[in-house]
Amino acid sequence: MSLKAFHIFFILVSIVFAAGLSAWAFKTGASDALGFVSGASSLLLLVYGMAFLRKARSIIT
Amino acid sequence: MFSRIFKYLPFFSDAEVPYTVAARPDTGLYNAKLGIWLFLASEVMLFGGLFSAYIFLRIGAEPGYWPSGLLNVPVGTANTAVLIASSVTVVLAWAALKMRQLAKYKFYMAITILCGVFFLAVKLSYEWPAKFNHFGVFVRQSAASKYDEFLGNKHLSETGQAPRWEISGHLLDAPKGSPYADQAHHNAEHFAHETHRHDAVTEADDDYVIQLDPVNADPDSKENDRPHFLPRPLSSKLAVIKAADVESASTFAPRHSTYFATYFLITGLHGLHVLGGILVFLYLWLPIKGGTKLYQSNPEHLANRVEIAGLFWHFVDLVWIFVFPIFYLL
């Protein structure tokens, strides 16, 4: 597995982690702000992952 | 004698190391990539064993003896974000090398190194020392009713929660001969300076005096029934506990409980991996023979080295993504 493939896997795990953190923050009532920020981070990572996939295809073999 | 030994070690000799750039025909990979995946497989077994130990210790813990909410969640969250960002920058550094942009490579690699240093600095200069100055006393179950105003076990029982046996906070006075006497004396002076109160030290030689955490200061409060993202400050309330009623007493160090033993073992081992990654990145970043000087003669070889280091770094970051929730959140 190349670094490119491992990075995509890592970003997928990070998306799940950020979404889980958001769910934890809302469900336990620990902090709504953390819930919103980690939820937004999850979306941001998703956007980054898709952009990385698109761009990496052309520059890294 | 050393020259005889060194001639078999390619790192110290001019011997040509095969398949550093091109893929080896029988494996389809360059040698270092096969090597790093074999190494990472052994790392999975190492951390997998430790995580398994954590799960079994947690499942087997007596009710009330597995603490939660003791770690600083904002700091842990920030450190997680820093590590995720460093994984992005190391890939950008690798991509820059692939596109033969040395200046960009140096820039992204420098950010990656700084992220690693930041992570370690926070852990070693803030998170761990804060734990070493926090103190917990596990009260004997037979004497727990005497301290229910700090434990709140009636409330916990009524609400169907696990009992609490620990009273924690800052130690202000310790029994005579305790190894924590100096720490208690220092904390008591600080307490007196901050609050102008001088009741932190008792006449008795067998008392622990603790400036309480909010969870023990007001144990019946519903606020304690949920986790808190931001750490809550210590209360000004004090608890006096007789040494005879104490089952065990310790700072939040590995000897405190299996929770902190596994926490320090796993985060310590992880920290060593972060340090190792930083050193390798520094080697690849500096203008030395195996570092950016290699770019002049064989840029693809340097790119492969960065890819290998990047794979290791991603693994280390992945481990942290599992460490953070199990210790900080659950």
- pLDDT of B18 reads 82
**In whole angstroms, what is the distance from residue B171 CA to residue B190 CA?**
11
Q: Is A51 on the interface with B (CB under 8 A)?
A: no
Question: What three-state secondary structure class fits B251?
Answer: strand
Nearest by CB to residue A3, choosing from B94, B99, B226, is B94
Which of B38, B90, B329, B330 is the best residue to mutate to test the A interface, defined by the most A CB atoms within 10 Å of its own CB?
Answer: B329
Nearest by CB to residue B311, choosing from A3, A41, A52, is A3
Residues of A in contact with B99 (CB under 8 A): 59
**In whole angstroms, what is the distance from residue B57 CA to residue B98 CA?**
46
Residues of A in contact with B226 (CB under 8 A): 28-30
Question: B238 forms bridges with which residues in the sheet?
Answer: B211
Q: Where are the domains of chain B?
A: 46-131+258-329, 135-251
- pLDDT of B163 reads 93
Q: Is A19 on the interface with B (CB under 8 A)?
A: no
- The position carrying tokens 């909010």 is B214
Are A10 and B87 in contact (CB < 8 Å)? yes
- pLDDT of B304 reads 94
Nearest residue in A to B69, CA atom = A30
Nearest residue in B to A33, CA atom = B229
- pLDDT of B8 reads 66
- Determine the topology of domain B46-131+258-329 in CATH: Four Helix Bundle (Hemerythrin (Met), subunit A) (1.20.120)
- Measured from the Cβ of residue B116, the count of other Cβ atoms closer than 10 Å reads 25
**In whole angstroms, what is the distance from residue B153 CA to residue B175 CA?**
26
- pLDDT of B152 reads 92
Query: For the sheet containing B238-242, what is the strand order?
Result: B238-242, B207-212, B166-173, B135-139, B246-251
Would you report the helix, strand and coil content of chain A in percent, each value rounded to 5?
90, 0, 10
Tell me how close the Cα of A46 comes to any Cα of chain B, in angstroms.
Answer: 13
Between the CA of residue B20 and those of B29, B110, B174, B283, B303, what are the distances in Å?
9, 24, 61, 17, 10
Residues of A in contact with B88 (CB under 8 A): 48
Per-residue pLDDT tens over the stretch A3-61? 999 999 999 999 999 999 999 999 998 889 999 999 999 999 999 999 999 988 876 55
Are B314 and A7 in contact (CB < 8 Å)? yes
Tens digit of each residue's pLDDT, chain B (330 residues): 666 766 666 556 666 778 888 888 888 888 899 999 999 999 999 999 999 999 999 999 999 899 888 899 999 999 999 999 999 999 999 999 999 999 999 999 999 999 999 999 999 999 999 999 999 999 999 999 999 999 999 999 998 899 999 999 999 999 988 999 999 999 999 888 888 887 777 777 888 999 999 999 999 888 887 888 888 889 989 999 999 999 999 999 999 999 999 999 999 999 999 999 999 999 999 998 888 899 999 999 999 999 999 999 999 999 999 999 999 998
- pLDDT of B305 reads 95
What was the ipTM of the complex prediction? 0.95
Q: Which one, of B320, B304, B326, lies nearest residue B21 by Cα? A: B304
**In whole angstroms, what is the distance from residue B152 CA to residue B244 CA?**
20
**In whole angstroms, what is the distance from residue B62 CA to residue B304 CA?**
50
Nearest residue in A to B328, CA atom = A21
- pLDDT of B10 reads 59
- pLDDT of B1 reads 66
Residues of A in contact with B76 (CB under 8 A): none
**In whole angstroms, what is the distance from residue B104 CA to residue B277 CA?**
20
Please tell me the total count of domains within chain A.
1
Residues of B in contact with A47 (CB under 8 A): none
Nearest by CB to residue A3, choosing from B84, B307, B324, is B307
Q: Which one, of B200, B203, B182, lies nearest residue B191 by Cα? A: B200
The DSSP call for residue B254 is G
Residues of A in contact with B80 (CB under 8 A): 17
Structure tokens at B250: 């310790």
Domain membership of residue A28 as a residue range: 3-59
- The position carrying tokens 């190194």 is B113
The DSSP call for residue B147 is G
Residues of B in contact with A20 (CB under 8 A): 325
Are B314 and A3 in contact (CB < 8 Å)? yes
- pLDDT of B20 reads 83
